[in-house]
Amino acid sequence: MFCTTKPPGSVSPAKRQINEVKETKTTINCVTFPLPGEGPEQQLLKPNEWSYCDYFWADRKDPQGTTHVTGFEVLLQKQLKGKQLQKEMAEFIHERIKIEEEYAKNLSKLSLSPLAAQEEGTLGEAWTQLKKSLHDEAEVHLKFSNKVIFLYSAPYQPSSARGK
């Protein structure tokens, strides 16, 4: 099925005048659009919220009805909020990495303490095992912080910092 349009001069002036009065839509590239100002105004799908479905294609009044907001403006604000969220997520992950590294350092330091080094028997063995367990846990937290750096931190860095 092909879309055909007649050149403007192919219709008689009297018929063109009748068509202009009756026309409430226009076809561009085989897609029919209503003419501006024709028919009832489209109702908002989510009247009390900012939503893409209501603001993407055409200007709409804001929920208070005071100003018009363009679809571009809504998308721009969403993009800016996303950029801020990305920055906050990067800060959160960076802080988590610092906490894990600090925790690993403190556990490792505690595992090396000389407390009860002279103890013998089952208490000495239990104490040695406890210190070894602390050291192992410190390594796990350090590996975790390194994995977080590798997997999550790099994507949130600015592109200029990644190239270095």
Contact (CB, 8 A) for 110 and 133: no
Whether 37 is in a domain gets the answer no
**DSSP assignment of 56-114:** SSS-EE-TTSSSEE-HHHHHHHHHHHHHHHHHHHHHHHHHHHHHHHHHHHHHHHHHT--
Task: State the residue range of the domain holding 101.
Answer: 87-162
Whether 142 is in a domain gets the answer yes
CA atoms within 13 A on the CB side of 50: 14
Q: Which residues contact 75 (CB under 8 A, 6 or more apart)?
A: 52, 56
Whether 65 is in a domain gets the answer no
Q: Which residues contact 153 (CB under 8 A, 6 or more apart)?
A: 90, 93, 94, 97
Whether 102 is in a domain gets the answer yes
Whether 126 is in a domain gets the answer yes
20: tokens are 């202009």
Q: Count up the domains in the chain and report the number.
A: 1
Whether 127 is in a domain gets the answer yes
Burial level of 94, CB count in 10 A (0-12/13-18/19+)?
middle
pLDDT at 109: 92
Which residue numbers in the chain have pLDDT < 50? 1, 3, 164
Contact (CB, 8 A) for 71 and 63: no
Whether 15 is in a domain gets the answer no
pLDDT at 82: 92
pLDDT at 44: 63
pLDDT at 140: 94
Whole-number Cα distances in Å, 87 to 145, 153, 157: 19, 11, 9
Q: What is the pTM for the complete model shown? A: 0.50
Beta-bridge partners for 60:
69
pLDDT at 85: 93
Whether 21 is in a domain gets the answer no
